[in-house]
A = this chain, B = another copy of it.
Amino acid sequence: MNEKAIGVFDSGVGGLTVLKALIRRLPEESTVYLGDTARVPYGTKSPEVVTRYSLANARLLMRQEIKLLVVACNTASSVSLPALAQQLPFPVIGVIEPGAQAAAAATSTGRVGVIGTPGTIASGAYQSALGRNRPGAQVLARACPLFVPLAEEGWTEGEVVEAIARKDLVDFGPFGIDTLVLGCTHYPMLKGAIANVVGAGVKLVDSAETTATAVEALLAEHKLFAPKGSRPRRRYFVTDLPERFAEIGTRFLEQPVESAELVDIQM
């Protein structure tokens, strides 16, 4: 038994989709969320810089006494997990492996598409995780660099979004996929537009639910569950614009983000 919180970080608000699934699955666990809003986005930055930011985020969460770290950002998960696992004294889990497992379970034909930020796609992390989870899978991966700014600005549907999606997703038609991994925590917000472009025959999978399942398994394995009947605490930290985070966060989480504390991350 362990009353410490589960730590979760993301480059901004997107990781709240993962936190929402975690809270639903593990309602008695306390959580501490950090959104690195002063340095968002991570998806267009190098592996070295993203790893540096990830380590700084983890150090900040460590000072909040956490028992497990969830990297709720695909870009950070795809490049910085080894460095995090090496430096942290508790279990660390990313969203790529759970996302790949969900896709491997969803596909019938074994032809899977992956979309993500330029950083995630360039890392090849989904491509290799899918290869492990579904040997023989044929994977086509494409970067969609405008989806994050579109989602952040609330352009989530309509002609403009679909025109951009049609250009970014053009190769999936001829390749013939039956499953598409939304390899960025922002992309579920554009689900409708993406579905219109790839067609109803393609299953869209994201990693929020499977990540929550994997966290539950990890807590069981390490005997880290909170005592039964625990009253969970919810804390939020951001590196910039706390009011904006609380406002958007409430929409993402579908429950009130009372307030977010502004923190200064020393590199």
* A residues lining the B interface (CB < 8 Å): 37-40, 44-46, 48-49, 145-146, 149-150, 152-153, 155, 159-160, 163-164, 167, 239-241, 266-267
- Residues on the B chain within 8 Å of A266, using CB: 267
13 contacts between A and B (CB under 8 A): A38-B45, A39-B39, A46-B240, A49-B239, A49-B240, A145-B149, A145-B152, A146-B149, A146-B155, A159-B163, A160-B167, A266-B267, A267-B267
Minimum CB–CB distance from A123 to chain B (whole Å) comes to 14
Minimum CB–CB distance from A13 to chain B (whole Å) comes to 12
Residue of B nearest to A155 (CB): B146
Copies of the chain in the assembly: 2
**Does B145 contact A153, Cβ atoms closer than 8 Å?**
yes
Given contacts A44-B152, A145-B149, A267-B267, 9 further A-B contacts (CB under 8 A): A37-B45, A45-B240, A46-B240, A46-B241, A49-B240, A145-B152, A146-B153, A160-B164, A160-B167
Residue of B nearest to A38 (CB): B49
- Residues on the B chain within 8 Å of A45, using CB: 37-38, 240-241
| C-alpha spacing A46/B37, complex, angstroms | 10
